[in-house]
Amino acid sequence: MVKINLVVREPAKLKPDYSLDFELPEVPAIGSYISIYRSDKPKPFGEDVIVRKIWWRLEHPEARSSISANVSKTGSVIEIFVECEIALGPYASDDWRKWATGAKARGAIVEEFEVARLSVRESELK
C-alpha cells in the first residue's frame, strides 16, 4: 500500500480547494477517474475527480551528486501529491453535480467521465 495526498483543485485554477489522505494499492495514473464516497451521502454517491498531475517529494541521504560506484545510499519518499480536477461521473452526488455545473456555467471546463453507464441522480432515489 502507498500513502497519497489527493489534492482537489478549485475549478479552472491551480489553487487547491481541499485535500484528503488515502492509502491505496498504487499511485493513480494521470487521467484516472476517481470517485470519493463520504459517509454523509447515500451510497454510491460522492465526488468525482480526474487525476491531472503527480507530485513526488523525495529525500536522499547523500548531500552531493555522485557518479561513484561506491555510493550505495538509497533515498525514500516523503509524500506523494495526486492533483485532481473536478469532474462529473455517473455517481456524482446532487451537491457535487450542482457545484460542478455552477463552475461550468462560470467558464470552467468540467470533464465528464467517459463511461457507458446509466447515470442515476441521488435525488431520484429519495
Query: Could you read off the pLDDT tens digit of each residue along the chain, which spans 126 residues?
Result: 999 999 999 998 989 999 999 999 999 999 999 999 999 998 999 999 999 999 999 998 887 776 666 667 889 999 999 999 999 999 899 999 999 999 999 999 999 999 876 666 767 666
Compute CA distances 108 → 62, 87, 89, whole Å: 44, 11, 16
In a domain, 10, yes or no: yes
Are 11 and 47 within 8 A, CB to CB? no
In a domain, 107, yes or no: yes
**Residue 115 belongs to what domain range?**
2-60+77-125
In a domain, 87, yes or no: yes
The helix (H) or strand (E) run that includes residue 74 is none
**pTM higher than the cut 0.75:** yes
- Number of folded domains that form the chain: 1
In a domain, 116, yes or no: yes
In the block, cell 446532487 appears at 94
In a domain, 67, yes or no: no
Pick left, alpha or beta for residue 105 (phi over 0 → left; psi -120 to 50 → alpha; otherwise beta).
alpha
Q: Please report the pLDDT score of residue 118 as a whole number.
A: 63
In a domain, 19, yes or no: yes
Q: Is 34 exposed, middle or buried (0-12, 13-18, 19+ CB in 10 A)?
A: buried
